Amino acid sequence: MRLKYVMSEVMVGLWRNVTMTVAMIITMAVSLTMLGASGLIYTQVKDMKAYYYDKIEVAIFLKPEITDDQRTSLEGSLKADPLVREVIYESKDEAFKKFQTMFSDVPAVVDAVKPGQLPESFRVGLKNPEQYQAVREAYVGKEGVDQIIDQRNLLEKIFNILGSVQTMALVAASVMAIAALLLVGNTIQVAAYSKRREVAVMKLVGASNWFIQAPFVLEAVVAGILGSIIGFGALALGKVLLLDGSLSELTDLLTPLSWGKVLIMLPLMALAGTLVSSITAWVTLRFYLRV
């Protein structure tokens, strides 16, 4: 009986003030979409780091005039280095073959380079890619070493871009969250005002505090859940239209974003929406109804 009463109060309350309710749900949805997007970027970056850091290597290019002794001693010290996971020697011929396949669709580039022009190198995989600096310092001055290039630098650039996109999404999410918060507070005040007589009577006859507050708090919670469902819809749409659609060429570069990861965002967003809206509603009521 009481549950039915509370639920019907919630529905009546949401409908009575329907424009505010819609505004509340939309801001909530946008905020939660941003939150979900930044969550997805976060997991994506983590996945990419795990995936690529295994594959990237430090390239130690050798000078053309390097002697066999120098090369052998260099290889030996690399193999003995505790920081190093594996060492692969790439001769001039191998470098040229690799180059040919890499640029096979641009024959002009391939023609411009002759075999033997490309330097030989050691491809060094590190146990921990973050320790590049130590490895660089150990080998940069060695005889026969020309240049040391860390492929991680390139990846870092991509991660930096993703990171700033994530930051922007988080900033947008928080700004929208503030707007949503204010709207929730306002909606609850309007609802409480329109029911001030009922509330006064309820307090007078000794209705418990939770019973007085529950319809208002639940109003906000329902709005929060609707907002998170709409926000999730926007995320799913974004995956279909952008990542799998117009931006698919770019996303081939990234690790694929599975539906499972998108789906996990739904409960997270619902939880965030519910928590934010119910706490705001409750705090508003504490001040406004003084129950």
Partner 1 sequence: MIQLEHVTKTYPKASRPSLDEVSVGIEKGEFVFFIGPSGSGKSTIIKLLLHEVTPNRGRVHVNGRDVTAMRSWKIPAFRRQIGCVFQDFRLLPNRTAYENVAFALEVIGKTKAVARRVVPEVLELVGLGGKEHRYPHELSGGEQQRVAVARAFVNRPLILLADEPTGNLDPDTSIEIMRLLDRINRTGTTVVMVTHDSNIVNQMRRRVIEIESGRIVRDQARGVYG
Q: What are the backbone angles phi and psi of residue 193, rounded to the nearest 5°? A: -65, -45
Q: Nearer to partner 1 by C-beta: 212 or 230? A: 212
Question: Is 3 one of the binding residues for partner 1 (CB under 8 A)?
Answer: no
Minimum distance, C-beta of residue 236 to partner 1, in the bound complex (Å): 42
Q: Nearer to partner 1 by C-beta: 52 or 216? A: 216
Q: How far apart are CA 150 and CA 114, in angstroms?
A: 25
Choosing from 68, 105, 197, 260, the residue that interacts with partner 1 (CB under 8 A) is 197
Query: What amino acid is encoded at 190 in this protein?
Result: V
Q: Nearer to partner 1 by C-beta: 199 or 276? A: 199
Q: Nearer to partner 1 by C-beta: 6 or 149? A: 6
Minimum distance, C-beta of residue 211 to partner 1, in the bound complex (Å): 6
Q: Which of residues 73-132 bind partner 1 (CB under 8 A)?
A: none
Nearest to 223 by CA among 195, 187, 193: 187
Minimum distance, C-beta of residue 252 to partner 1, in the bound complex (Å): 60
The interface region with partner 1, picked from 47-55, 168-176, 198-206, 229-237 by CB under 8 A, is: 198-206
Minimum distance, C-beta of residue 10 to partner 1, in the bound complex (Å): 15
- In this structure, the number of other CB atoms found within 10 A of the CB of residue 106 comes to 10
Report the greatest alpha carbon distance in the chain. Answer: 98
CB within 8 Å of 153: residues ≥ 6 apart = none
Q: Which strand ranges, in their side-by-side order, compose the sheet holding 145-150? A: 84-90, 121-126, 58-62, 145-150
Residue linked to tokens 């240049």: 147
CB within 8 Å of 35: residues ≥ 6 apart = 169, 170, 173, 177, 231, 268, 269, 272
Q: How far apart are CA 183 and CA 28, in angstroms?
A: 9
CB within 8 Å of 255: residues ≥ 6 apart = 44, 47, 48, 51
Minimum distance, C-beta of residue 1 to partner 1, in the bound complex (Å): 6
Q: Nearer to partner 1 by C-beta: 179 or 291? A: 291
CB within 8 Å of 77: residues ≥ 6 apart = none
Q: Nearer to partner 1 by C-beta: 46 or 286? A: 286
Q: Please count the residues of this chain forming the interface with partner 1, following the rule CB under 8 A.
A: 17
Q: Which of residues 261-290 bind partner 1 (CB under 8 A)?
A: none
Q: How far apart are CA 85 and CA 229, in angstroms?
A: 47
Q: Nearer to partner 1 by C-beta: 204 or 253? A: 204
Q: Nearer to partner 1 by C-beta: 6 or 155? A: 6
Choosing from 198, 236, 251, 268, the residue that interacts with partner 1 (CB under 8 A) is 198
Minimum distance, C-beta of residue 208 to partner 1, in the bound complex (Å): 5
Q: Where are the alpha helices (DSSP H) in 195-208?
A: 196-205
Q: Which of residues 199-238 bind partner 1 (CB under 8 A)?
A: 200-209, 211-212
Which residues of the shown chain bind partner 1 in the complex (CB under 8 A)? 1-2, 5, 197-198, 200-209, 211-212
